[in-house]
Amino acid sequence: MKTAPPTKYTALMPEDYNGTGAPVHMRRAIENYVLHGTLVGHFLSSVIANDLRGACGYADDVNVKIIPTYVMWFMNRTPASCWGSVKKYENWVESGGLCGIAASRGTEGAV
């Protein structure tokens, strides 16, 4: 599995909209997904695909309470092409995330 090197993007991981931030173990998965298009687990892929019923079903005790935090973060901090449907999730993974898109455009240093 690819792991993203520390970047300025790490500072933008899901923040505390309602008194609870995303757990640290989830932040790395989100970063790798956004930057590299890395596949994520059932909970996070359900959030990304805008399948909130699935997200509730796959969430652990911590994440079930902060699903709105994830949704708000993806809505406000990521490209629209990164999340919102299963097709967008699949296309994002196939594109290689922000780094893959930048590389295909010859602008790798921009991420």
Q: Looking at the domain assignment, is residue 4 inside a domain?
A: no
Neighbour count for residue 60 (Cβ, 10 Å):
10
Q: Looking at the domain assignment, is residue 9 inside a domain?
A: no
Give the count of domains, the chain: 1
Q: Does residue 62 contact residue 56 with C-beta atoms inside 8 Å?
A: no
Query: Can you give the pTM of this predicted structure?
Result: 0.81
Q: Looking at the domain assignment, is residue 92 inside a domain?
A: yes
Task: Please state the φ and ψ torsions of residue 17, each to the nearest 5 degrees.
Answer: -85, -25
Q: How far apart are CA 17 and CA 11, in angstroms?
A: 15
Q: Looking at the domain assignment, is residue 7 inside a domain?
A: no
Q: Which structural domain, as residue segments, surrounds residue 52?
A: 23-110
Residues 4-33, mean pLDDT to the nearest whole number: 64
Q: Looking at the domain assignment, is residue 3 inside a domain?
A: no
Residues 38-65, mean pLDDT to the nearest whole number: 96
Q: Looking at the domain assignment, is residue 39 inside a domain?
A: yes
Pair of tokens at residue 23: 């757990």
Residues 101-109, mean pLDDT to the nearest whole number: 80
Q: In this predicted structure, what is the pLDDT of residue 1?
A: 38
Q: Looking at the domain assignment, is residue 15 inside a domain?
A: no
Q: What is the per-residue pLDDT across 83-93, written as a single tens digit (0 to 9) for each?
A: 999 999 999 99
